[in-house]
Chain A
Amino acid sequence: MSAVEHFREAYQSLAPSLAGAELPWLKERREAALDALASVGFPGRRNEDWKYTSVRWLGSDFAPTVAGHDPGDSIFVPRLETRFDRLVFVDGVFSPPHSRVRAPGITVRPLHKVLAEVEDRLDGSPQLTGAFAKLNTALMDDGAYVEVPSGTAVEFPIELVFVGTGRGKAANVRNLIRVGDGGQATFFERYVGLPGKHFTNAITELSVGEGARVELVRLQKEALGAYHVGQVAVRQAANSVATVRSISVGAELARIEVRVELEGEGAKSDLTGLSLGRRKQHHDQHVAVWHRVGNCESVQTFKSVLDDSARGVFTGMIGIASGADGTDASQSGNNLLLSDDASVQTRPWLEIHADDVKAAHGATVGKLDEDALFYLRQRGLSEKRARSILTYAFANAVLEGANAELAGRLEAVIWEWLGSGEWK
């Protein structure tokens, strides 16, 4: 059975129990999405967007989850970070015992509770056109819903944790986040999992109001058997500042897409990504920024470090629409290969339809700098240690300016990767 047929069948049997089953508009939308999926199919190699990442693994192995799905008794419980509000989802299903929300003045709820109110906002991001977005719309059951009202600054990061149990489930997660005009908030979206095979298909729709400041840190640290397709779709209003930091460490195969639409003048977008791959991992980072109006700024800083026979893919797009004068856009993609068998495919792209713009990109592929290595060793550091330090230095540029509450944890992720060769 093809993956498309598999998910259609799954939909047919799950439809009555999917969140919002009572909402006619949602049912209609889910079925339209299924039809769209059936007509385009999952991307093959001839699809330029997916040229270097195969989805043959998808098959018909993964069973979509719905509320009421029993995660079993021995699930992994992440350490509770006391100061952070957070929502925890297990195989895509909200887990009240692990969640808590205390911050005043904001709404942080599981999406399935508020579906009736989000008709206009669900799928409100023009970027969500691909097959995995359609699949998500058809089968999504839950996710986080966050509303930061205008003028509200949230002190601590809001944590959204998604746990995969490695039991062959397909979690179609949908997060809807809106930060109102002048609001400020930081989100820490993290994907972790138990050893085993599962499939996460997560979408975060982030809407950033005028003058708002938002940082979204996305950590993909699933277990090795996992397959992860994640999309972050951001829309920015005038004078807003959005930072999206994506760190991808885990999973057998991970594809992370960050797509930003700059819709109001004076908006600034700072996008960074880091992929750390080893063994036979396949990490695909995909970033696209479209400057729809003038006088916005965007910066893309993406890195990948690949060891063993890991494979890295980076596609970066700066798009500047006709009339978007005064755009200042830059993009860098740097790749570090630590092993002879590692490989990387990188596509730093520009599509420019306006003339009064600054747009530049640079991409490099290389190994560790021999002079720097010798310098460190001359100071008495072992070759292994020197390599670790230089690799860390290469990687940690993507943490620059990170929320102070999170920076240390992200640094630890890099060190852990460098140190043990394993993540726990």
Chain B
Amino acid sequence: MSSQPDVSSRPSSGQAEVDEILDQHDEYKYGFVTDMEQDVLPPGLDESVIRFISAKKDEPEWLLEWRLKAFAAWQKMEEPNWQFVTYADIDYQAISYFAAPKKKLESIDEVDPEILETFEKLGIPLHERAALAGVAVDAVFDSVSVATTFKDKLHDLGIIFCSISEAVREHPELVRQYLGTVVPVTDNYFAALNSAVFTDGSFVYIPKGVKCPMELSTYFRINAANTGQFERTLIIADESSYVSYLEGCTAPVRKENQLHAAVVELVAHTDAKIKYSTVQNWYPGDKDGNGGIYNFVTKRGVCEGDRSHISWTQVETGSAVTWKYPSCVLKGENSVGEFYSVALTNNHQQADTGTKMVHLGKGTTSTIVSKGISAGKGQQTYRGLVSIGPKAHNARNHTQCDSLLLGKECGAHTFPYVDVRNASAVLEHEASTSKISEDQLFYAMQRGLSEEDAVSMIVNGFCKEVFKELPMEFAVEARKLLEVSLEGAVG
């Protein structure tokens, strides 16, 4: 080892102190439970549950058929086990597939004050503050969309931003045209489950030539116990349009694991651009690995038109187990796919995340930047596919995967897959693994920074390439989340 002072043995950061810091920050800030009357379906899943959900939401016959088809497919599928994570078996019959606030909501004013308060605690600018912040929010509480702000202003531009349930009622032709076209119902086990039982989510349609003037945002929260959250998001950007969409997630502290199996579908037409940002802070479980969310999500966008562009940015600090690969299918000529990710696993958290870039059209390009931070006993895996089809002439991909390890018991793994079937492709993949060096720490501390601040600063620097892709408010939140999730992880 180097002759530099051994930072970990300095009295200023003794074990007791580290424990204290750990305890102090171990509290999950969003771990409160909202006390309110809810309509909760008893646990269990069969056709009647699906019929119940569909009926409850007044769905047209075709959608019920679609759900039942998905359910039939799901029953024949096997839960995947190739991902680099381990978790207790999920009992799908012990989950409740529908939970909604009892009162039916007509407008934001009717939203239960208790829920509004919840969102305030979460720091979501729902009400008036939404207008000030220039963010239109669709909040999904457990399974049901409770309010969508800013609707009128968007309506003037022809933008549709509402819950998917409302979209099914008001714009059935659009939903029917696109639903399940990007992520087919049989795509994978959890997508099939979601298709069968999804209860709500957001719907966005940006008309031709419209640049959405504000960030659209959805905030998801799992509140009720023993419920799963199965939201479904569908975003369509018509020709030459632009939209930036933000998604945030939290859940209360509960001893049991909870399942979150969402599906997000994006469609970008010619010259359209969709920017999708996620800050995922589901409850990660306690420091001994009890409880926490299983976050098994299918996110995929298709660049349908020429020169279309889909950009995924994610900051994943929460969940006990994360398993997701926001992907781009690059069909249109010269279309562009991007994936920027920061994932952090601390304590017993596990994440197997990455992306798929499927190049089908000529001149398609993709960029992947993945930053994984692993601390405590966290296990972190980057898994990504770059595939170049036979007709994707002159496709380009650049992939950069960096891992930062904090501690002796964590793991950082990199499992990229590259599949090239066109000789004109140019691909580069780079990966590195590092830790915060004692030299770096000592240098920063010699200049007067505390160890925590020094670590936080270095980690932020490590993630900079990704943070700069986030909208401003989100970048600030992401940085804070990272700090909270990390503190005490060094020693």
**Interface residue count on the B side (C-beta < 8 Å):** 35
B414 A365 Cβ-Cβ under 8 A: no
**A165 to B378 Cα, complex, angstroms:** 53
A residues in contact with B429, CB < 8 Å: 348, 361-364
Could you list 26 A-B pairs, sorted by A, with CB under 8 Å? A48-B82, A340-B422, A341-B423, A344-B420, A345-B417, A347-B415, A348-B416, A348-B429, A349-B414, A350-B403, A354-B405, A355-B408, A355-B410, A357-B405, A357-B433, A357-B435, A358-B433, A358-B434, A360-B430, A360-B433, A361-B429, A363-B429, A364-B426, A365-B420, A366-B426, A367-B424
Q: B428 and A350: CB pair below 8 A?
A: no
- For B435, the chain A residues whose CB sits under 8 A away are 355-357
Known: A350-B433, A357-B433. A363 touches B418 (CB 8 A): yes
Residues of A within 8 A of B420 (CB): 335, 337, 343-346, 365
Interface residue B419 (Cβ < 8 Å from any Cβ of A): yes
Q: Residue of B at shortest CB range from A357? A: B433
Contact A345 B418 (CB under 8 A): yes
User: Given the interface contacts A347-B418, A363-B418, does A323 sit within 8 Å of B408 by beta carbon?
Assistant: yes
Do most interface residues of chain A lie in helix, strand or loop, or is the interface mixed?
strand
Q: Do the beta carbons of A355 and B405 come within 8 Å of each other?
A: yes
Q: Is B432 in the interface zone, CB < 8 Å from A? A: yes
Q: Is B415 within 8 A of A349, CB to CB?
A: yes
Give which listed residue, A341, A352, A361, A364, contacts B411 with CB less than 8 A. A352
Cβ-based interface call for B425 (8 A): yes
Number of A-B contacts (CB under 8 A): 108
Map CB proximity to B onto A313-353 as digits: 1 under 8 Å, 0 otherwise: 00000000011000000000001011111111111111111
* A binding-site residues for B, Cβ under 8 Å: 48, 322-323, 335, 337-367
B408 pairs with A366, CB closer than 8 A: no
New A-B pairs, 19, CB < 8 Å, besides A343-B420, A344-B418 = A322-B408, A335-B420, A338-B423, A340-B390, A342-B423, A345-B419, A349-B413, A350-B431, A351-B411, A352-B405, A354-B405, A354-B408, A355-B405, A355-B407, A360-B432, A364-B428, A366-B426, A366-B427, A367-B423
Is the pair A365, B412 in contact by a Cβ cutoff of 8 Å? no
Residue of B nearest to A359 (CB): B433
> How many angstroms from the CA of A247 to the CA of B409 in the assembled complex?
38
Q: Which of B388, B409, B414, B426 contacts A361 (CB 8 A)?
A: B414
- In the complex, the chain A residue whose C-beta lies closest to that of B435 is A355
Of A322, A339, A361, the contact of B431 (CB 8 Å cutoff): A361
B381, closest chain A residue (CB): A351
Q: For B430, list chain A residues within 8 Å (CB).
A: 360-362
Partner of A343 from the list B82, B412, B413, B421 (CB cut-off 8 Å) is B421
Residue in A48, A341, A342, A346 whose CB lies within 8 Å of B418 = A346
Contacts of A354 in B (CB 8 A): 405, 408
Q: Would B431 and A362 count as touching, CB distance under 8 A? A: yes
**Shortest Cβ gap from B405 to chain A (Å):** 4
Q: How far is the CA of A48 from the CA of B434 in the complex (A)?
A: 27
Q: CB distance B433 to A352 under 8 Å?
A: yes
A339, A341, A344, A358, most chain B CB atoms within 10 A: A344
A residues less than 8 Å from B417 (CB atoms): 345-347
Shortest Cβ distance from A306 into B: residue: B423
Residues of B within 8 A of A350 (CB): 403, 412-415, 431, 433
The residues of A that contact B419 with a CB separation of less than 8 Å are: 343-345
What is the distance, in angstroms, from A184's C-beta to the closest C-beta of chain B? Answer: 32
